[in-house]
Amino acid sequence: KLSSTGSIMGRVFADYSVYKGKASLSLSPVLPTFTRMEYGLRVDRQGKMMLRFCPAVGDRKYDWEKKQLFALSATELGSIISLGPKDSCEFFHDPSMKSSNAGQVRKSLTISPTQDGNGYFVSLSVVNNLLRTNERLTVPLTTAEFAVIKTACSFALPHIIGWDQCTSHQSTTNGEKSWKVGSLDSDSEWNR
């Protein structure tokens, strides 16, 4: 199976991970998917930043089987990128939203500054009323680790919203009119 640029497709597993006393946290970008339409490519499913928490089960051993996931949208990522040193933020997800189990599982991600101001706590809480479980996994981040996350997520953000695809389909005109890359609009603003 070939991608549009001719390379062999497949998943790429590249995480940024921190391993701490009680849990590990791994981040990896998930790109949007596109659908080919008559007039070009359209985003089919939004991209996201996947967070994976694994509980520690020994000295620097983490249980992959008990992992908990939390997928940040572009706007949630915007919260993290713009987080000041004393700011905190919280996101709520219902993984069963729009299904009959809506409201039965509640995930919340909290990022709050440490008391000494030299980092953050990232905490994932999963309350599952169906399984009657209530889990919380917390990973402390140093300023350096959070700087990596901010920088890497700022890099990933335009890719998550698909704008890197706009830029890689650059056309070259030769007198004739080129395809416009962007939106399906016609308006004098296009001709500015």
Site residues (CB under 8 A) for a copy of itself, limited to 5-24: 5-16, 18
44 counts as binding a copy of itself under rule CB under 8 A:
yes
Angle 170-172-178 from CA coordinates, rounded to 5°? 90
In terms of CB distance, is 100 or 172 closer to a copy of itself?
Answer: 172
32: nearest Cα among 64, 62, 71? 71
Cα 1 to chain centroid distance, Å, stands at: 25
Nearer to a copy of itself, 12 or 115 (CB): 12
Residues 112 to 171: which contact a copy of itself by CB under 8 A? 142-148, 151-152, 154-159, 161-171
Interface with a copy of itself (CB under 8 A), residue from 21, 22, 42, 66? 42
CA distance 50 to 12: 13
Q: Which one among 20, 95, 104, 136 touches a copy of itself, defined by CB under 8 A?
A: 95
Q: CA separation (Å) from 67 to 48, 50, 136, 175?
A: 18, 12, 11, 56
Judged by beta carbon, residue 73 or residue 138, the one nearer a copy of itself is: 73
- For the bound state, the minimum distance from the C-beta of residue 72 to a copy of itself, rounded and expressed in Å, comes to 9
Give min distance, CB of 135 to a copy of itself, in A.
14
The correct pick among 23, 25, 48, 120 for binding a copy of itself (CB under 8 A) is 48
Q: Quote the distance between the C-alpha of residue 179 and its chain's center.
A: 31
User: Is residue 19 within a helix (H) or strand (E), and if so which, with residue range?
Assistant: strand 16-19
